[in-house]
């Protein structure tokens, strides 16, 4: 009986990230009083390019990869957002991710619209040179629609500063001028910014600190679980550990580690591979699903979409959930958790530190004048504290959850800019 009930619950819930994003966009625009035409404009990207990329593999065979680039809305300015390399990338996912980038830019008030790219591939099974050929092939395929004042890519899941370097080099060769501002998340020697690598985790840390204050939870000694040990999750584990919190659980794509007495974060950071895999070194592991339901004060999903759903929302023990990943909690789960009094700091706010420092990187590239790490950190701190407060107060005054509040704050700028341009 119980099992059946659970199953029907799961099948009823819509896990399509594009459709669930559209549902919240509609609600946000309705609350802001915009007409239907604005929703019609905002519900899909303005442009979506699908490309096929032939890559010569090391064994001389040729493999054809499929890639995407979505540009959600460029009324405010050029579109901006990362490129994801992952076997599960889909067209709808890339579209939703581009909408989230518009929201992030709106929330932290950057002069950008949202964009996103993705390639269906598994970089864990590709060699260094195969990855280089794929990265360069992708840039050649999308080069007509991207550019420093059109659409500026960046890293995302399983892409890093080396991939950004190849992409910048390929773009600069095609255009025949050095274009560091074409892409962000580059190595420092190629015009990268101090603080970009740790920016997403820094932003999440600021949101955790602010959320803990609101909930009256002392960060020192707080029990923290982080799902995912990639760029966001691993640096976050370090920052939480440094802040005196007790990191009791982490995971990678394969399994999770949980110890109520606290994990040895230094050791885990030292032993993780470049994809964030570390649990293979341990015998005593639990599953990702078990980790999410484990006892803790603060839960940070920092991996992939649809991790907290109607199926497990009732079992979550945390008082605060701060979303470092894009789209980890479904709309249904958000409702259930909010009713239970759990404070959810949504992805479009909590993970906006990355794009914020990407913006700083782009500004520095455009100026040809570079800032110190302290300057970057101070500016990031100012922006995120202000943005958190803005979303929190919007939620409070409207008596809505922070996700809907963040969507309202985030979509307003693109909607207004589209109206002034006479598009709607």
154 binds ligand GLU (CB under 6 A): yes
224 binds ligand GLU (CB under 6 A): no
80 binds ligand GLU (CB under 6 A): yes
Between residue 303 and residue 332, which ones bind ligand GLU under the rule CB under 6 A? 326
Among positions 322, 355, 408, 409, the unique one binding ligand GLU when judged by CB under 6 A:
355
Q: Map residues 31-70 to x or -, x wherever contact with ligand GLU holds by CB under 6 A.
A: ----------------------------------------
118 binds ligand GLU (CB under 6 A): no
Contact region with ligand GLU (CB under 6 A), list: 18-26, 274-282, 316-324, 351-359? 351-359
What are the φ and ψ backbone dihedral angles of 66, each rounded to 5 degrees? -105, 135
DSSP 254-321: S-EEE-TT---HHHHHHH--TT---GGG-SS-B-HHHHHTSS-SEEEE-S-SS-B-TTTGGG---SEE
184 binds ligand GLU (CB under 6 A): yes
Residue least distant from ligand GLU (Cβ): 82
Nearest approach in angstroms of CB 391 to ligand GLU is 16
Length of the chain: 424
168, 186 contact by CB (below 8 A)? yes
Among positions 45, 67, 78, 82, the unique one binding ligand GLU when judged by CB under 6 A:
82
Among positions 201, 354, 387, 391, the unique one binding ligand GLU when judged by CB under 6 A:
354
User: Residues with Cβ < 8 Å from 49, sequence gap 6 or more?
Assistant: 68, 69, 70, 142, 145
Nearest approach in angstroms of CB 207 to ligand GLU is 13
Q: How far apart are CA 284 and CA 291, in angstroms?
A: 13
Active site positions, annotated: 116
156 binds ligand GLU (CB under 6 A): yes
User: Residues with Cβ < 8 Å from 20, sequence gap 6 or more?
Assistant: 14, 96, 327, 330, 331
Q: In what order do the strands lie in the sheet with 256-258?
A: 256-258, 246-251, 223-227, 298-301, 320-322, 343-345
Nearest approach in angstroms of CB 153 to ligand GLU is 7
* Side-chain half-sphere CA neighbours of 414 within 13 A: 37
Nearest approach in angstroms of CB 353 to ligand GLU is 8
Structure tokens at 34: 């915009």
Show the CA angle centred on residue 111, arms to residues 110 and 117, nearest 5°: 85
Among positions 358, 365, 387, 394, the unique one binding ligand GLU when judged by CB under 6 A:
358
Contact region with ligand GLU (CB under 6 A), list: 37-45, 53-61, 75-83, 412-420? 75-83
107, 409 contact by CB (below 8 A)? yes
351 binds ligand GLU (CB under 6 A): yes
Q: Which residue is associated with the tokens 């990187």?
A: 361
| Paired strand residues for 152 | 80
Between residue 91 and residue 110, which ones bind ligand GLU under the rule CB under 6 A? 104
Q: Which residue is associated with the tokens 């404009």?
A: 41
Between residue 394 and residue 423, which ones bind ligand GLU under the rule CB under 6 A? none
Cβ proximity to ligand GLU: between 24 and 268 the closer is 24
Element (H, E) at 165: helix 161-175
288 binds ligand GLU (CB under 6 A): no
Using CB under 6 A as the criterion, which residues of the chain lie in contact with ligand GLU when the complex forms?
80-82, 104, 154, 156, 184, 326, 351, 354-355, 358
């Amino acid at each position: 009986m119980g099992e059946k009930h659970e199953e029907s619950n799961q099948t009823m819930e819509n896990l399509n990230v594009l459709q669930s994003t559209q549902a919240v966009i509609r609600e946000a625009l309705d609350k802001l009083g915009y007409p239907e035409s604005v929703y019609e404009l905002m519900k899909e990207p303005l442009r979506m390019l699908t490309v096929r990329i032939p890559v010569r593999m090391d064994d001389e065979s040729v493999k054809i990869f499929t890639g995407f680039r979505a540009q959600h809305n460029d009324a405010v300015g050029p579109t901006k957002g990362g490129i994801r390399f992952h076997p599960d990338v889909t067209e709808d996912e890339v579209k939703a991710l581009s909408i989230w980038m518009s929201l992030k830019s709106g929330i932290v008030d950057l002069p950008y619209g949202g964009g996103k790219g993705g390639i269906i591939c598994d970089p864990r099974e590709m060699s260094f040179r195969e990855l280089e050929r794929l990265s360069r092939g992708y840039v050649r395929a999308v080069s007509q629609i991207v550019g420093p004042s059109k659409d500026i890519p960046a890293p995302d899941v399983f892409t890093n500063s080396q991939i950004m370097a190849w992409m910048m080099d390929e773009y600069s060769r095609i255009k025949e001028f050095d274009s560091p501002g074409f892409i962000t998340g580059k190595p420092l020697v190629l015009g990268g910014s101090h603080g970009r690598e740790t920016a997403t985790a820094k932003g999440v840390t600021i949101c955790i600190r602010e959320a803990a204050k609101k909930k009256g939870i002392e960060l020192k000694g707080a029990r923290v679980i982080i799902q995912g040990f990639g760029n966001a999750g691993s640096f976050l584990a370090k920052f939480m550990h440094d802040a005196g919190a007790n990191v009791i659980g982490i995971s990678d794509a394969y399994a999770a580690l949980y110890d109520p007495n606290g994990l040895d974060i230094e050791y885990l950071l030292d032993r993780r591979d470049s994809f964030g895999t570390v649990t293979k070194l341990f015998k005593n592991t639990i599953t990702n699903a078990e980790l999410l339901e484990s006892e803790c004060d603060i839960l940070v999903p920092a991996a992939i979409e649809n991790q907290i759903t109607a199926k497990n929302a009732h079992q979550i023990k945390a008082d605060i959930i701060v979303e470092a990943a894009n789209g980890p909690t479904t709309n249904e789960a958000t409702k259930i958790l909010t009713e239970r009094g759990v404070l959810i700091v949504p992805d479009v706010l909590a993970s906006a530190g990355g794009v914020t420092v990407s913006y700083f990187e782009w500004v520095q590239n455009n100026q040809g004048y570079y800032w110190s790490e302290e300057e970057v950190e101070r500016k990031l701190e100012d922006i995120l504290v202000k943005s958190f407060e803005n979303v929190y107060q919007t939620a409070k005054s409207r008596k809505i959850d922070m996700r809907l509040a963040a969507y309202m704050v985030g979509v307003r700028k693109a909607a207004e800019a589209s109206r002034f341009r006479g598009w709607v």
